[in-house]
Amino acid sequence: MKIVYFVHCFFPEHFYGSETYTLNVAKYMQGEGHDVHIVTARFPGEAAAETFVDNYEYDGLSVSSFDKNKHPNTRVKDTYYQEEMREPIREILQELKPDVIHVIHLINHTSVLLQVINELQIPVVATFTDFFGFCFNNKLQAANEGLCKGPSTSRVNCIACYLKATADQQKNSLLKKATSSTPWVNLTAHVANAIAQTAPTLLPFEYRGVIPDLKYRPDTLQTCYQYYDAAIAPSKFLEKAYLSNGFKEPLHLQNFGVDIDRSDKPDRKERALRIGYIGQIAAHKGVDVLVSAFQKINNSELHIYGPEDQDKSYVDALHQAVGDCKEKVIFHGTFKPERMAEIMKELDYIVIPSTWYENSPLVLLYALATHTPAIVSDVEGMTEFVTDGENGYVFPMGDSEKLAEILTDISQSPEKATLMSKNTHYSRSTKDMAEDVLSLYKKLSGIDS
C-alpha cells in the first residue's frame, strides 16, 4: 500500500506532538512493508530552501517539503484556504499516486488539499491533534483568556481573538489600546462586525478583508472537511469538540500510543521531592502558574525542561519571578527524545498547568507510562487520563493557590509519591495505535494487505 502523510512541519527542525505522531505511525507502516512518503512544509520566515519543493530523508523516511517562503500568507484566508497551494499539491499527489492519504495537520497545506484529494478520488483519513478545524487560534481560548466552545453564530468571538492577537501591530494608539485590553476587545469586535455589515468602507483598510476571512473560516473548513472519509480523535474531549462544532464524518476514538521504558520507579532516597515540567515554555502552557505556586513551598525542587527561545519575554519574566528560589527552580533547556525515560525516572511528579484545552499531550502519556503521577489543570483533554488522588491530582485551571496547596501537601508527605506511582500506568504503545490506524486504512482503501 502506498501511504502519503501530510503534516504542517516535521523533523529535524520540528519535533513536537503532531510531528512525533507522524514519525511513529509512518515508521510502523514502513516496517510492515508499506511504501510511505511524508509531505510537510517550511513556515514562512524560516530559512528558505533552494527550491519550492525540497526532498530529503529523515530516519529512513522519504520527505517532501514545500517552502512557504515562496507562497507566504498575505491575508487571514491564506492560513486556512490558499489557492496558490492547489497546483503544487496536485502535482505531488499525481507523482506519488497514493492508495490512501493521512492528514495530520492542514496548516501550510490548507484546506485546498482536501479539495484536490476529493477531485483525485483518493481515500483520506485525518487525525485531529488540535482545534484547527473550527477555531481561529487552534486553542479554544477566548480573547479574555478564558475557555471557548467554538465560533459563535456571528463569529464576533473569532474577531475578538484576532484583534487581541494582533494588537501589538496596530499603529493607531487608540485602536491598539482598545484591542489589547481584555475589557474592551469584545466591544471593539462587536462594533467592527456591525460596521463590516453596514458600512465596510468605514473600517480601517487592514480590517476590510480580515473580518470576512474570519467569518467565512468555519464554514469553509466544514465544507472541505466533508471530503474526509474518516477521522481519528485521540481523546474523548477532542471527539466531543469536533462533533459539537459540526463535524459529521465518521469519527474514531483512538488514544495515542507511546513507546518508553515502563520499568517501576527506582526507590526514592532521602532527597528533596522532585517536581517536573516538560514542554513548551509559553503563556498558554501555564508555566507562570506553576512557578507562582512553587514559590510557596519548601523541601522540593522544580525542574523545568523546554526551549527558552520560543517566547523570550515570557521566559525572562519567569526567571525574574523565580527571585530567591533560583537554587530550587532549575531551567534545563531541551533534551533529546531518547532521554525521556531517564528524566521521568528522576521526577516524583510531573505538572501540566495548561490554561487551554490540552488534547492528551504526549508528555502526560509518557509520565503515566513511566509511573510518574501527574498534576494537571482541570481540562477534559487531560482529566480523562488523570483521576484525582489516584494517579495524580487535578486543580482549577490557572489557580496557583490551589496548585500551591497540592504542592505543599505532597512536599510534606513525600511518601505519597511512591504510593501513587504504583497506581500510575499507561499501557497503550505505538504498535497498538498504529495497528488501529492501519485497520482504518485497509477499510477505506479496500486493500487487504
pLDDT tens column, 35-53 = 999 999 999 999 999 999 9
- Quick: pLDDT tens for 329-366: 999 999 988 999 999 999 999 999 999 888 889 999 99
How confident is the prediction for the chain on average, in pLDDT? 93
Nearest to 356 by CA among 374, 334, 380, 339: 380
C-alpha cell at 79: 492560513
Residue 93 shares a structural domain with residue 233? yes
Asked if the structure places residue 22 within a domain, the reply is yes
Asked if the structure places residue 324 within a domain, the reply is yes
Residue 43 shares a structural domain with residue 192? no
Residue 117 shares a structural domain with residue 237? yes
pTM of the model: 0.89
**Helices within 181-209 (DSSP H only):** 182-198
- Name the DSSP letter for residue 43: P
Mean pLDDT across 209-222: 95
- Quick: pLDDT tens for 92-138: 999 999 999 999 999 999 999 999 999 999 999 999 999 999 999 89
Asked if the structure places residue 403 within a domain, the reply is yes
Cell 512553587 locates to: 294
- Name the DSSP letter for residue 310: S
Asked if the structure places residue 58 within a domain, the reply is yes
Asked if the structure places residue 143 within a domain, the reply is no
Neighbouring-strand partners of residue 62: 37, 57
Residue 101 shares a structural domain with residue 232? yes
Q: Which amino acid is at 158?
A: C
Q: Which domain holds residue 242?
A: 2-136+217-257+430-445
pLDDT confidence band for 268 (50 / 70 / 90): confident
Residue 192 shares a structural domain with residue 328? no
Residue 119 shares a structural domain with residue 189? no
Residue 189 shares a structural domain with residue 87? no
Asked if the structure places residue 224 within a domain, the reply is yes
Q: What is the rounded CA–CA span in Å between residue 263 and residue 320?
A: 38
Residue 440 shares a structural domain with residue 398? no
Nearest to 47 by CA among 12, 79, 22, 76: 12
**What is the CA angle 294-406-325, rounded to 5?**
10
Q: What is the rounded CA–CA span in Å between residue 135 and residue 151?
A: 7
CATH code: domain of residue 339:
3.40.50.2000
Asked if 251 and 243 count as a contact pair (C-beta separation under 8 A), the reply is: yes
C-alpha cell at 55: 526532498
Residue 47 shares a structural domain with residue 114? yes
Q: What is the rounded CA–CA span in Å between residue 348 and residue 210?
A: 48
Residue 125 shares a structural domain with residue 19? yes
Other C-beta atoms closer than 10 Å to the C-beta of 197 total 11
pLDDT score recorded for residue 173:
64
Residue 238 shares a structural domain with residue 172? no
Neighbouring-strand partners of residue 102: 5, 125
Residue 21 shares a structural domain with residue 69? yes
Asked if the structure places residue 404 within a domain, the reply is yes
Asked if the structure places residue 267 within a domain, the reply is no
Q: What is the rounded CA–CA span in Å between residue 63 and residue 120?
A: 21
Residue 234 has pLDDT above 60, yes or no: yes
Domain total for the chain?
A: 3
